[in-house]
Amino acid sequence: MEEGGYQNRTAFIKGAKDIAKEVKRQASKKAGRSVDRVSDEYSKRSYARFEQDDDDDFPPQGSQDGGYYRGDSQAANEDEGGHSDSTEGHDEDDEIYEGEYQGIPRAESGKDSLSGGPGSVKAQQLGADMGVSEAERRKDQEELAQQYETILQECGHGKFQWTLYFVLGLALMADGVEIFVVGFVLPSAERDMCLSEPNKSMLGLIVYFGMMVGAFLWGALADRIGRRQSLLICLSINSVFSFFSSFVQGYSTFLFCRLLSGVGIGGTIPIVFAYYSEFLSQEKRGEHLSWLCMFWMIGGIYASAMAWAIIPHYGWSFQMGSAYQFHSWRVFVLVAAFPSVAAIAALSAMPESPRFYLENGKHDEGWMILKQVHDTNMRAKGHPEKVFSVTTIKTVKQMDELVDTGTDTPVLKRYKLKIISLSQQIRNNVLACFTPEYKRTTFMLMAVWFTMSFSYYGLTVWFPDMIKYVQKQEYDSRTKTFVKERVEHVTFNFTLENQVHREGHYFNDKFLNLKMKSMVFEDSVFEECYFEDITSTHTFFRNCTFVASLFYNTDLFKYRFFDCKLVNSTFLHNKEGCILDFSDDFNNAYMIYFVNFLGTLAVLPGNIVSALLMDKIGRLRMLAGSSVISCVSCFFLMFGNSESGLIALLCLFGGISIASWNALDVITVELYPSDKRTTAFGFLNALCKLAAVLGISIFQSFVGITKALPILFAAGALAAGSFLATKLPETRGQVLQ
C-alpha cells in the first residue's frame, strides 16, 4: 500500500511539472516574454499542496525521529547504490530542489518591475520569498558541520583518504620543488644569460612574487568554483610555464615564465590543506594534515637530487649555433615540472570536496561523493555489505545572485557579467574575514604568519649565502700575488687561477687554449702578445696597456677591461654570449645541492613528532612551543664560524621550526568556515610570501657585514610570533566549521 502511494506521489509530481512547462510555453507565445518565476512558483505550489494532502500517508523525509538516517529494516531492503530520497521523482531535464532559485528574470520582465507595473509587486514578493538572510545561512552551516562530522565518522578513514593523501602530496611536492628550482639553476643561468647583479636578485625573488599572487587568487577562487577545479587549473599553469621556461633563451622571457609558473603553484598550499581536511574526521585531522606536510620535504629532496644528478653534467645539452643553447640546467627545469604533471593526472581521477558541494546547495553531488568514500573504505576493510545509511544531508541555502545571463544577452556581455559577479563574491569573501566575528583571529594569524615567514625564509636563504661567503673568504686567502714581473717569449697553455699580477710586463707571450679563473691584472703592459681560445670567469684587466696584441676566439670583452689602452690591437672571432662551463664549479655545485639536501632532510624528525603529537597536545602548544625553541636555537648561530658548523645549525633550525609550520597550517584550516576557508588561507599565504621577500632582501644585505643583526631580527620575530600564537583559539577536538 505504501509503495503504491509513493508511486502515485511521483506520478503527480511529474504531472505537475509537465503542466508547469506547458504554462511556460503558452505564456511565452502570448506575452512574448519569459514567465519562469510564475511557472516555477506554480510548480512549487502544486508540489506543496500535494505534500500537505498526503502528509498523513507518508512520513517526513529523513527518518522516524527527525534524523538523517534510515531505519535498519529499510536500509536492508534498499539498493546499496540507490539515490537519496531527495532525488526521487526528478528527471534529468527539470529538477526541483527545495530552496533552489528556479529562474532569472529577463530584461523585459525587469522593465515592468522597475516601472512599477503589474509585475513589480509580484517580483518584490518573489524576491522576499527567495532571499535568504545571513542568519539562516549561519544556522544551516552549523547544522551541516555537526552532521558532516557524523557522516565522516560513518565513512571511516581508509583507502579513499590514503589515495587522496598521495594525490595531494604530489601537488604539495610540486610546491616544494618550485621553491628550490631558481636557487639551483641561478649559478648556471647567470652565466648562460650574462646576468648582472640586479637581474640575479630579481630572478631569485620572482618566484615568491608569483606565489604571492597565486595564493590569493586561487585561494579565493577555490571557495567559489571548487577545490578540485581550482587545483587542476593552478597546477596546469605551473606545468605549462615551467615547460616553456626550460626552452626560452632571453632573460626577460625566462623571468616572465618563472613568474607565471609561481602564480600557478602559489595556490597549491591553501587548496591542498583545505581540500584534504574536508575528508578527515576531527580525531584524524591534525595528524594526517601533518603527515601531508612531509611531501613538501620530499619535494625539496627530489629537487636537490635531480639538480646534483643533472646540472653539473655539461654533456647533457645541445646547441644550434650560438643563437640557441639548451644546457643541462634547462634539463633540470624540465624534470622539476614532473611532480606537477603527475599531480594533474592523478587528481583527474579524484572527486570534488563534498563539503564544497553541500555548502553550495548541491545535495545530490555531495551525497554521491560521500557514498563513494564510504563504499571505497568499507570494501577495502572487507565489509562490502555495509550500506551508506545517510539519506538526506543538510545543505546551505544560497543567496540569490541576480545576474542576467539569458540567451538574448550577447556572449561577451554574459562573460563580463559573470566575471564581475565572481569578482564581487571574492571581494565579499575577503572582507568577511575582517568582520567582527573573524577580525581578531585574522589579525592574529596575519602577525604569526608574517613573523614566522620573515624569520624562516630570511635565515634559510642567509645560511647558504653565509656558507658561500665563508668559502669565498677561504678561497681569497689562497690568492697568489705577483708584482713587477717581466715575462718574455713564454707560452701559457695551462689554467691560470686565483692570482693577482701588478705592474707586470709581458712581451711576445702567447696565451693559448687556457682558462682564466679569478685572475686580475693591474697596471700591466702586454706588448705583441697573442691570446687564442681563452675562457675566463671573474677575470679583469685594470689600467693595463695592450700594444700590437691579437685576441682570437676569446671571451675577453669590453666589460673585462677597466681604464685600459688598446694600441694597434685586434679582436677576431670573439666568443658570443656567456660561456657556461661546469668543470671548475663541480665541487661548489655539489656542496650547494648537498647542503640543501641535508637541510630538507633535517625536517623529517620534526614532521614525525608534529604528526604524532598534534592531536595529543593541541595545535597551540605545538605552534608556540616550536616557535620558542626555534627562537632559542637562533642564538647558537653566533658560534657558526666554519662551513660545517653553519650546515649543522641550518639542519637544527629547520628540524625544529617545521613543527610550528605544520601546526600553523592545521589551525588556519580549522579557524575559518568552509565557504571562507581557502580565501583566508590564500590571503595569509600571500602575506607569508611577501614576508619572505622582505626577509630575504634584508638578511642578504648583512652577509659579510655582521651576523648579530640577522640573528636578532629572526629571534625577535619568532618570539613575537610565539607570544601571539598563544592568543589564538585552540581547535583540537572541534568539528570543521
* pLDDT confidence of residue 112: 42
For residues 692 and 688, what is the distance between their CA atoms, to the nearest angstrom? 6
pLDDT on residue 588:
59
Which grid cell is 702? 648583512
305's grid cell: 637530487
The cell numbers describing 304, all together, are 636537490
Q: Taking the alpha carbons of 474, 475, 476, 481 in that order, is the dihedral positive or negative? A: positive
Q: How far apart are CA 168 and CA 174, in angstroms?
A: 10
- Quote the pLDDT of residue 81: 40
pLDDT of residue 248: 85
pLDDT at 20: 55
For residues 338 and 645, what is the distance between their CA atoms, to the nearest angstrom?
A: 34
Cβ atoms of 258 and 210 within 8 Å: the answer is: yes
pLDDT at 106: 35
CA distance 180 to 161: 29
- Predicted local confidence at residue 557, as pLDDT: 75
Spatial CA neighbour of 466 closest among 207, 206, 103, 708:
708
Residue 554's H or E segment, with its range, is strand 550-554
pLDDT for res 734: 80
pLDDT value at residue 260: 92
Cβ atoms 234, 214 nearer than 8 A = yes
Nearest Cα to 229, choosing from 121, 365, 48, 119?
Answer: 365
For residue 686, the tally of other CB atoms under 10 A from its CB is 22
Report the C-alpha gap between 250 and 384 in whole angstroms: 58
- The shares of helix, strand and coil residues in the chain, as percent rounded to the nearest 5, are 65, 10, 25
Cα–Cα distance measured from residue 554 to residue 536, given in angstroms and rounded to the nearest whole number:
8
Q: For residue 546, what are the β-bridge partners?
A: 526, 566
- Alpha-helical (H) ranges within 381-520 are 411-432, 436-476
Q: Determine if the pTM surpasses 0.85.
A: no
Which among 387, 378, 422 is positioned nearest to 403, based on CA atoms?
422
**Low pLDDT (below 70) residues in the chain:** 1-134, 196-197, 313-325, 398-409, 576-591, 640-641
In this structure, which amino acid lies at residue 125?
Q
